[in-house]
Every structure is written in C-alpha cells, then in structure tokens.
Structure 1
C-alpha cells in the first residue's frame, strides 16, 4: 500500500502579498528611524547626569553661541598625549552641540606631520615652536589659545629618597574662559580698545614687577578681547576717538589741570573711566578727587584697616565679601576680594551729589569692625582715639545717560568705576581669591558688555591617585605575571577533561 504525501504551497498572488507587506513594514521602519533621527538632530536636549563641573557650559557662553550668525572654524592643534587633550575635547563637544556655526578640525602634530605643516603654513606659526594650541578663525581674523593659557598649575615635590624631584600638578582648567573669549574676539565687528594714562608713575600693563606691575591685568584685557595702549596727555594731548575705556591706574603724582580738563571733557561726552587709587597718593592728591566729586564720588584721604579679616596680622591688608546691589558684584556671591592699604571711596550724600540723571552705587564694603585712619604723623597714617569705626565703602560705580533729547558725542552713557586700591590688580594680588573676576566684571560693565558678565571662572581639575604599599604592588605584579596565565591554563585543562569524558 502506497501513502502519498501532499503539501500545500503558497499561490503566486499570496507570495506577492506577503512580499509587499514585508517591504512596506521594512520601509515604514526605515522611514520612522529616519524621521526620529531628523527630529532629534534639530530638536534635541542635552542632560548632564555627571557632577563634573568642567563640562557644562555657563549661561554666558551659551548666550554668545546662540546669538552667533558667523561661521567659526576651530583647529585643535594638540598633542593627543597631553593631560589637557581630554578636557579640551570634552568642552569643545559642548560647544559643537550648542551652535551649528562651529566646525572643529583635529590635528596631532606628532602623529600627522604633513597636516601639521599645513596648519603652520596657513596660520603663519613658528616652525620651531611645538606647543599644543587651539586656533579660532573667522575670515582673516585669528585667535590662538596655547596650552599654557588653558590651565593653572603648580609644581609639587614628589617623594623620592634618592633625588629631588618635582612634577606639574594642574589645579584648574580655563578652557571655557579662553574659548568663549576667542570666539567673541574673532566674530566682533571691531576690537575694543582701552588706554592707560601714563606720565604720573601709574601701574604699567606691560610690567612684570610684583606689586606695581599690571602685566597680569593686561593679559586679562586680551582674554576679554580688548586691545590696550598708553596715553600721555601732557599739556596739549587729546583722548583719542577710539578710546572705549580710559584707565587711570594708581597715579602717584598729580595730573596737570589741562589733563583733568581733557578727562572731564571725555566723561561729559559719554566716556568710560576706571580710576584706581592707592595709599602712595593719599597724602598728595592727584586732582582726580575734585573731578570725581562732581560725579558723586568721594575719594577719602585716609587708610582703611580691618583687623578682623587681616592677612598675616596686617590690618591694612584684608579680605572682604560684603557687596552692594549692582551687576558688577552680583556674580561674585561669597567670593572674597583682597585689598592692600585701601582708602575709602564713597557715594556723595549731600543734595548736590552728581549730575542730573546720574546713578551712584557703592560696590564693596569693609566689615563692620573696620577703622579709618585719617591723621598723618611723620609721613604715616597713625591710629588715634578719634578714628572712625564701622563699615566703609571701598569702590563706587556711576552711570549717567539715557536722558530724553540728550545725545553724547561718543554715543553712549557715561560710566565710571572708582576703587580705593590699585594694588589689588597688581601681578602679586590679581589672582588671589576673586580679584581677577572682579577686574573682569568691572571692565565688562564699563564697556557695556552685559552678555559677558555671567562669569566664567577656572574649573577645578581633580586628580585621582591610587596609593599602594610595596607589598600590594608585589601582589598585583604576581597576579598579572603568573595569576592570569595560570587561570587561562586551568580553564583550558577543565574544558579538555570535560570533552574527554
């Protein structure tokens, strides 16, 4: 007996229907994936789940990137083995995510010499210099941020019984500060310019001298995309038309009457002035005191001491974090400033204070237990039983302008900041606590750059170290040299035995 097996088969029409449904499903899946990717590429949000402070961009940077309309090319000319390579890469990823106007090209000069030579030729770099750097360019404008500008570091001794050994330890990463500054620089329509008044023994922005030198302040101006030059008015000089900010940094001799007239004229035309005083001019008077009095600023001929917050037992060198209500000091929070032999700078209290429309605000104060010395004996300020005690202002900001029907010759409101200490921005003190941020805030407010006043400070760099004893190192060495190979051999033997059985 024969059994015949029959099988049913799909008809041609059924096979085509199944193929059609599969094709539609595949195409639908591909279309959905494409649409999701399209929407996510244009409407995405980034969340920072890590507590790493060196990655998330500040509101100041984000506002600048969102307002950008120009294309900026970023060339990362960096040794990939550098300790700063990873932080630079992470921060630039955030910049790229925040703005489609940025493009990044990475070149390792040691791994790609041919491309490195092309970069050196294009940007006219010295072939003898092998420093890593990040180059920002837009059109013909270029800004170079070197590796040394990206971090704050110190040298510490390494425990070594045989010889003296030190290593570089990075304390803070300044990548966002420098990168945002560079982008603002290359896309700016015109570079701002400040002039330092000269001829009265003022602080010099090119001097590296410890206390009187302002080289660090000059570098801060460059970081904020501001050029600077010297201005010696003399009997017949004029303040240039391109002067966006005039800085009078601690003059120690009096200004000529003609110089004071030029400064007054400059302010009346809507100019910007940063006036810094110091204790070496307290007994002389510079002439600026009378000029600023007309703008509602009282410059004291005195010395402030605050023993409660003194430095190394010196009451005239003290710290404070007592601030008024003003955009300059609002971002500082509880960060302290260090003052060195300051004098009082106060708002004028009488009815004649300032001119119509002027707003005078006291910025920084001593503690409530400070003492003001006003009596001079043998050329020095001396304590007496009549010394005033309490809280005293150390800096004042003035703003005047925006009156209906009034157009200033320089096109803006007049802004003045007077500080009773010029040494706080000297090379030795500038990087103490919040002094550098305070200087940056002053300059940006005077130049009406409110978008740059949210504050970008250096981000701490955390270094993780694993401390092992000699016995622990020997244990790890034996595990790596003998333990792992023996474990692999044992596993092979076990597999062989199981297969034989």
Structure 2
C-alpha cells in the first residue's frame, strides 16, 4: 500500500500518565500492519484525546496532518514505552476538542495552575506598565513621519542656545489632553535637551494661574531669556508658532489687494490666513485704487484670485514697487478677465505670457471625476521646492509661458525659476468647446504639451540703472482654488505656498516642511494602481474565500468517509 497517509494507532499501551488524556501515534500508512507495535522510527506525531472520546484504530489521514499538527520533536514521551519523544500541539479544526498537553515542559506546573498562572500574567503586565511610564521611547513607522517633529520645528529649536527654555503647562491630571500633551512635549525635549517643563494643575494651583495670567485650561507659558509667550492647544503647529515668536519676534507686513473680485481671506481661505499669522505675517487689506499708493511698510503684496484686471494706474504702481525691490505673490485663475488689459502688460513686462488655455490632466479623474484637476508631480530644483516629495493639486489651473522676445532677461536681470510642473501626460487645452463637452483631445497645433508649468518664481536684479542693489521677487501660481480650506491640506499645497511667501520676503528659516495633519492625508493612486487594487478586492479576496470553503468542505467529506 502506498504511503500516502498516516496510520493511527490506538494501542492502550501508549496511553500517557496524565489523567484524563490518552496518547495516540501516527505512522505512514503501509509501513506497519494494523495492530503491530510501532518502532522508534515512526513519525513523532502525537494526538491527545479525552478518555471517552474513542478514535478508531487504523484510521488513515492525509499527509497534511503531519505539518498541521507538529513539524518538530519535543518533550513528551509515551507512557514508559521508550519510543521517540513527541509534542502535542494545540486544538485544531480537525479535532476541535483536542487541548494542548503541557507535560514535562519547564514551568508546566505553573501554567497548569488555575491560580499561579493568572497571577504571573497580571504581575508581568503591571511591571511592563510601570517601566513604560518611566522609560519613554517611540518609533515612527509612518511613511510621512507623522509622529516626528517636522523640519520647520527642528529649525526653530536649533536657534535656542544653551540658556534653558522652560514650559509651564497648565492642565489638570484628569484632562483628556494630558497624554497627548505629555507625548508632544517629550518629543520637543528629545530634540532640545535644555528644555525644562512642568505640568501645573489650574484647579490645585489657583495662585499660579493668577500670577501668570492664565485664563483657561490647556494653556502653555513658554519662557526664554526673560521673555514669555502663551499658546493654547496641544499640537506641533501651536507649539512651534509660539516658539517662533519667542526666538524671532519680528513680524512681516503683508498686504492683500482688494477691489478686483479677489478672494476674501476671512471667508475663502481662513486656514491659510491662520497659518500665515502663526508664522508672524500680519495681513492687511489694501484697496489699491482708493489708496493711490503702496504703503511704505509693505514687505509683501498678495493678489489672490482676482476676476477683474488691474487699472493702468494700479499696474504702474505695482511695476514701480517691484522694480524698487518689492515682493509679490500672485495666484491667477483661468477663464477670468483679470489677465487682460493693464494686467497683461504688467506680466509681459516680466516676460510672462498669459494665455487662456486650461490645464488638462487625466490623472485628475482619481480625485473628482473630471480632468481639470491638475496635479504637480515635478518640482525643479529651487529653495522653495526643497524637500517637497508629494503631489500638489490645482483644481482649475491656467498655463503660462516665457516669451524671450518680449524682454531681454539677461540684459534686464530677470531670473526665472519654474517651481511646479505637471506630468508629460497633461497638456494645456485651447479648445473651449471640447472643455464644455467634457471631451478634450490634444491638438499638437494649438495645445501646449506637458509638462506644463503651474508655478514660477522670478527674481529681478537692476532693471534700471537707478535701482538699489536689493532686487524684487515675484511668485506666480496659475490657480487660487488650491489655497481654499478644501484643498490647502492636500499634498504639498500648503508647504509650496508658504515656502514661496518665505522666499519672497527672504526669510530662509520659513522655508521648510511643516507638520502634517494626520486626519487629512488622502492616498493618491495612479490608474494602474487603482486597477490592481480593484482586481485584488473584487476578484482575488472573494476567490480565496471560495477556494478555502471548497477545500474545507472536501476535507470534511473525506474525513467523515474515512471515519465511517
């Protein structure tokens, strides 16, 4: 008989001495006649069965039982027979009533005890809990390092010298934010060993609350070199913002142009406004037509999402401002009149050619189903784009290019740097009818083939002989919707814009990767990746369950047939 199965011996002489159990040995079928005593060369496999649950001697089982129950010899010997020592494995699906036998194993008496084993487990748990409360350590396994201090935070902490930085955290012990505050402040302490902190309960220490002017639970008082800054909340953005004001209290005067249908900072991008203020930018509204001049303290001018073009007088003021070393960041949407008239002349002075073409990117179908959602996947080398490694999304972007015929950049001293580009599969579509019908097609004669530039930085040096040595800086984005609360947290949108603002005002410490929001990290997949995931979820996973069910049914039928 072919040795295709395992032989089950139910000889009572092989019973174990442990009360309530008996042992049975499995041998290859065909190697031993039924009923003959096994020798020491048999398979070292042992099954345990409760007394009273009889197993038919001579039953044949599949070879898979050998690997299913036990792949290696161990420490249990049949009752005094002198045969090979074997191991009893835990209960399995074939015999659900089989328990694990713990005989002749080190510490088996403790593990069999209904009292000592639970006490041992509870004691070890309490010991580990006590050690974890005194020894702090963590490993950030997230791909985007969500639980590690960001580059901008590390840059700020490096500015603190040997003089200790102190943090007084006013928080009750029972507060739900206590554990989060402890974990965050430990990260800062790890990066800055001179940091000293203490938790103060406002309920138990009302006099200290009054002394330091604390008006709510959850405030932190940072002190360094006799100066103090208060923050509210427990997040890396809040902590770093307070430390930035402590080590560099300088503020930057930033004016937002108004009067051309621009986006309102309070209504359209409140989150971005908050982040700008946290980084020491003071935002003010500037109705340029009414003011008639640009304020002398204007360190930066923002022009975000205008719908109407500049007046000739306004364009002349901005041109003079840039030539005299001014700084501007402009976000210009497509399909609006803001790029015409005096605005067009203003941009042409810089050598930037604005057209009416709209960027089409087929990758955008992964976001909301249409193809106007341009994605920037390439970041040419520049200080602004340093460290950016994720996509930036522009819901509706325009294209622009540089015309060397309009301005001699080498003579005029205009240096241009592309910041963000689409993939090669995107293009700038000129046919408005195809856009309305949602069926754009690339036309080599009229369209601009990708990669399409979505953002550009310009640096002006000595445009006229009477200029000072300080040159103007100018950053242009082909979209403004990417700054709204709906999109600004996606990918590198926030970092790209804030880095551009910091570069414009020559603030090197403001150019860095900022803390990411762990609650808003969408996964952006390519078309092939989406297809593979769909095949796996819809086809592979259900198919595996079906095959597993068929296998289980066939195995059960075969077992019952053999038993009968």
Give the TM interval when normalised to the shorter protein. 0.5 to 0.7
Q: Which residue number corresponds to residue 188 of structure 1?
A: 248
Asked if 2 retains the 8 angstrom alpha-carbon contact of 1:76 and 1:104, the reply is yes
Q: Does 1:342 align with 2:387?
A: no
Q: 1:66 to 1:390 in 2, by over 3 A?
A: closer
Q: How many residues align?
A: 374
Q: Which residue number corresponds to residue 515 of structure 2?
A: 457
Q: What is the CA distance between 1:250 and its match in structure 2?
A: 1.1
Q: Distance in 2 between matches of 1:291 and 1:344?
A: 17
Q: Which residue number corresponds to residue 364 of structure 2?
A: 309
Q: 1:340 to 1:59 in 2, by over 3 A?
A: closer
1:102-501 → structure 2 map (5 Å cutoff): 103-119=196-212, 122=213, 125=215, 130-136=216-222, 143-147=229-233, 150=234, 174-175=235-236, 177-207=237-267, 213-234=268-289, 237-281=292-336, 285=340, 287-310=342-365, 311-333=367-389, 335-350=390-405, 352-354=407-409, 356-376=412-432, 383=440, 385=443, 386-388=445-447, 389-401=449-461, 408=468, 412-458=470-516, 460=518
Select the residue among 50, 55, 62 that pairs with 2:139.
50
Asked if 2 retains the 8 angstrom alpha-carbon contact of 1:437 and 1:457, the reply is no
Q: Does 1:76 align with 2:163?
A: no
Asked which structure has the greater RCO (Cα within 8 Å, sep 6+), the reply is: 1
Q: 1:315 to 1:143 in 2, by over 3 A?
A: farther
Structure 1: 5+ residue stretches without partners: 1-46, 151-173, 208-212, 462-501
Q: Distance in 2 between matches of 1:139 and 1:252?
A: 48
Q: 1:279 to 1:407 in 2, by over 3 A?
A: closer
Q: Secondary structure at the match of 1:300?
A: strand
Q: 1:365 to 1:49 in 2, by over 3 A?
A: same
Q: What is the CA distance between 1:95 and its match in structure 2?
A: 3.6
Range 444-453 or range 56-65, more displaced: 56-65
RMSD of the alignment, in Å? 3.4
Q: 1:56 to 1:315 in 2, by over 3 A?
A: closer
Asked if 1 retains the 8 angstrom alpha-carbon contact of 2:272 and 2:488, the reply is yes
Asked if 1 retains the 8 angstrom alpha-carbon contact of 2:416 and 2:457, the reply is yes
Q: Secondary structure at the match of 1:328?
A: coil
Q: Distance in 1 between matches of 2:178 and 2:340?
A: 52
**TM value normalised by structure 1:** 0.66
Q: Secondary structure at the match of 2:456?
A: strand
